[in-house]
Structure 1
Amino acid sequence: MKKTTLVLFVTIFAATAISSGCFSKRLQAAKANQAAKAENKGNDDADFNAREEITQTFTLAPDSEVEVVGINGSVDITTSESNKAEIYILRLARSKDTFERRKAHLSFENNQLKIRGNARESSGLWDSITGDNELRTRITLKLPRKLQELSVGGCNGRVNIGEIEGGLEVHNIGGKVTVAKANGAVEFAGINGKIEATLAKLDKEGVSIHGVNGNIDLKFTEEVNAEVEMNGSNGRVNADLPNVKVEDQKHGRYHAIIGTGGPSIEVNGTNGNLWLAREGATASGTKTPTVTGKVLKTLSE
């Protein structure tokens, strides 16, 4: 009887263990599946069933200013020799009511074109809880190449900018910033992502970069005569250009004269590597960072 009871107990224990193991595996699989669904839900637009499209065209003079601000999504800007500004805004939301609470605004007066993607018409409890998660915006612009200034700010997504002749200011961006070619004063500030920019010619006001979390790649189409000043930065500097004279390099500081000197390239408070090269050079990271044949130290060392 005891032997039978023992066998029965062992059988029940084994069955329970196997069942528990199977259940545990199923539970883990279910959790993994749920996590995958949650990730996909955040990455695609499946839950954003409401759709709003805005198209408009303006005629701009060469001294016009364009400002794009407050975009929870990507911004793509191309340019041409035309004097037309063609605007296409795609807004996606979970409910059409969101479009009433968060309207897109376009205004053009005194040669100033302003595009605001997510202006709050009212701020209730639900808006405070959900923030910008209820609305996604994608802006596509075709602008004249010649402008007085182009400013893009407050965007939670990548920003792509074509060739621009005039001042360029890009600030408070949560994503990668790419500039095909800039011919004018350039400023980058508060960028959480990599910066890739080609500079056709250094403006007398130079280049100002501060508060960037990501690598910075600057390429030049012409011979470079500039002064590079970098402070409070954590990363490496690769000045892959001829005639570079390093004046100072230690404890997060880097100072160099390129060519005969000239406009300043100021970099402050960045977390990432700085790469300076001629247009067409291979991507940063594929070559050993050097200046006049010497490997540079990490600035934070």
Structure 2
Amino acid sequence: MKGRIFLVVLLVIVAAVAGRWMTRTRSTHLSNQEETRQSVRLETGARVEVRGINGSVEINTADTDTADVRILRTASSPEDLEYGKVTVDASSSSLVVRGENNGARGFWHWLWGGGGQVKQDVTLTLPRRVELLAKGVNGPVRIGEVEGSVAVEGVNGRVEVAQSFGHSEIKGVNGNVRIGVAQLGAQGMEIKGVNGNIEVRFKENIDADIEVKGNNGGLSLNVPNVTMQERENFSNMRARLGRGGAPIDIKGVNGQ
């Protein structure tokens, strides 16, 4: 009896998967994209978060007090666009763009004929003076000049930050990281858990203390104001820029 039950379940699953591919093939000629746009006025220092996006995130900045949001969702069929939605919660002090997690509902949709995951591409144009967080992104993240804190966590793709003027935090990135630094706040910069190469570009000479731990790769300091450098071993190093000051912590990097 157990064997028969297993066989029935297996046949149902096989039939569902076969139907899934048939459905995908029949639906290719239909519209499979949805674009939404929204604008909101933000006050200086507003909090902006982008979370749970399955696709690319591009954040541009400008001399403006308005945030423009563009979301492009792409799926295998129009029916699949009922899943993988992106919500926007906005007020004058905060903007949150969040990808929907369909959980078990999305799995059963896929099993019974729905397409794969919905790709979500998010493009923002923001005021420069914001506090920014991008977290849980399955795709590249590109950020312009931000005159506030920048935090990027849990990204499967390359990360680029044109220029930051405050505290910067990069954690859990599977890809190369490139960040420009105009100024360091009192909290400095923290880079942890990166599987890729890291390039930090300073706009001008700064005063900072650098600590590197658990680095699996080469490390070079191409700045003119290195006043102290101590290498404990291949993976660990300390250095001082100028008179020292704000901390720059780089830990657990598999790259250079």
Equivalents in 1 of 2:114, 2:178: separation in Å?
30
Matches within 5 A, 1:1-301: 49-109=31-91, 111-120=93-102, 123-126=105-108, 133-147=116-130, 149-244=131-226, 245-273=228-256
Over 3 Å counting, the alpha-carbon distance change for 1:255 and 1:128 in structure 2 is farther
Shift of 1:247: 2.4
Equivalents in 2 of 1:64, 1:211: separation in Å?
28
Shift of 1:224: 1.9
Contact 1:79–1:145 (Cα < 8 Å) also in 2: yes
Contact 1:176–1:192 (Cα < 8 Å) also in 2: yes
Shift of 1:192: 0.6
TM-score by length of 2: 0.82
Over 3 Å counting, the alpha-carbon distance change for 1:104 and 1:83 in structure 2 is same
> How many residue pairs were aligned?
227
Note the residue ranges of structure 1 that are not aligned, 5 or more in a row.
1-45, 274-301
The Cα offsets for residues 231-281 of structure 1, whole Å up to 9 and x where unpaired, read as 1110111111123211233141111111111101101111011xxxxxxxx
Contact 1:53–1:90 (Cα < 8 Å) also in 2: yes
Contact 2:150–2:166 (Cα < 8 Å) also in 1: yes
Equivalents in 2 of 1:253, 1:154: separation in Å?
29
Over 3 Å counting, the alpha-carbon distance change for 1:50 and 1:131 in structure 2 is closer
Equivalents in 2 of 1:191, 1:51: separation in Å?
28
In structure 2, the residue matched to 1:25 is none
Equivalents in 2 of 1:172, 1:127: separation in Å?
26
TM-score by length of 1: 0.71
Shift of 1:100: 2.2
SS for the counterpart of 2:123 is strand
Shift of 1:70: 1.0
Equivalents in 2 of 1:87, 1:168: separation in Å?
18
Q: Give the number of the structure whose residues are more often strand, by fraction.
A: 1
Q: What's the % identity of the aligned pairs? A: 37
CA RMSD of aligned residues (A): 2.2
Report the residue type matching 1:263 in the other structure. Answer: A
Kindly name which structure, 1 or 2, has the bigger radius of gyration based on alpha carbons. Answer: 1
Over 3 Å counting, the alpha-carbon distance change for 1:220 and 1:227 in structure 2 is same
Contact 2:58–2:123 (Cα < 8 Å) also in 1: yes
Shift of 1:102: 2.4
SS for the counterpart of 2:82 is helix
Report the residue type matching 1:188 in the other structure. Answer: I
Contact 1:247–1:257 (Cα < 8 Å) also in 2: no
Equivalents in 2 of 1:235, 1:138: separation in Å?
32
SS for the counterpart of 1:203 is coil
In structure 2, the residue matched to 1:29 is none
Contact 1:101–1:121 (Cα < 8 Å) also in 2: no
Note the residue ranges of structure 2 that are not aligned, 5 or more in a row.
1-27
Over 3 Å counting, the alpha-carbon distance change for 1:100 and 1:122 in structure 2 is farther
Shift of 1:48: 9.0
SS for the counterpart of 2:221 is strand
Contact 2:167–2:188 (Cα < 8 Å) also in 1: yes
Q: Give the number of the structure whose residues are more often helix, by fraction.
A: 1
Contact 1:49–1:92 (Cα < 8 Å) also in 2: no
Over 3 Å counting, the alpha-carbon distance change for 1:132 and 1:170 in structure 2 is farther
Shift of 1:98: 2.5
